[in-house]
Amino acid sequence: MNPSTQAALYGPWQPSQPVRKDRPVVVALAGLLWALTLLSVCWVGGLFTVALVWGAAAGQPVGGLLLLLVLVPAAAAAGLTALARAPGVRRLAASTRLLLLGALACPVPAVLAVVLWIRTG
């Protein structure tokens, strides 16, 4: 390709950004945060499922609880996905991005799981 055509179509040549390496500490912290998040989400979801089954067995309407059990995690996942696709976040290294998203996702289900554990125990 003619260099002037290249410059006319794509602008002047610029070197690409170097690929950022993953750091083991960041990878370990991200894994720990996501494991804690998934564990607490599973525990809270299981507790709500038991309440849903008990309510259905007692003949109570459970549509609101079932809707809550589906919509809240779906909304949280949609928010995290939108954040992960934001231009500033996409420029981060993959491990740093996972650490950031894990730090945002972890507190709410973990605190809810601890509070429910204390109140039911």
Compute the C-alpha angle 36/44/32, nearest 5°: 5
Q: Please, which pLDDT band fits residue 58 given cuts at 50, 70 and 90?
A: very high
Whose structure tokens read 């934001």? 86
User: How confident is the model at residue 19, as a pLDDT?
Assistant: 67
Model-level pTM? 0.74
pLDDT value of residue 77: 93
The mean pLDDT of 50-54, rounded to a whole number, is 90
Q: What is the mean pLDDT of residues 39-58?
A: 90
Percent of the chain with pLDDT over 70: 93
12 pLDDT more than 80: no
**Is the model more confident about 98 or about 3?**
98
* Model confidence pLDDT, tens digit, residues 71-88: 988 999 999 999 999 999
Q: Which among 120, 74, 81, 121 has a CA at the least distance from the CA of 104?
A: 81
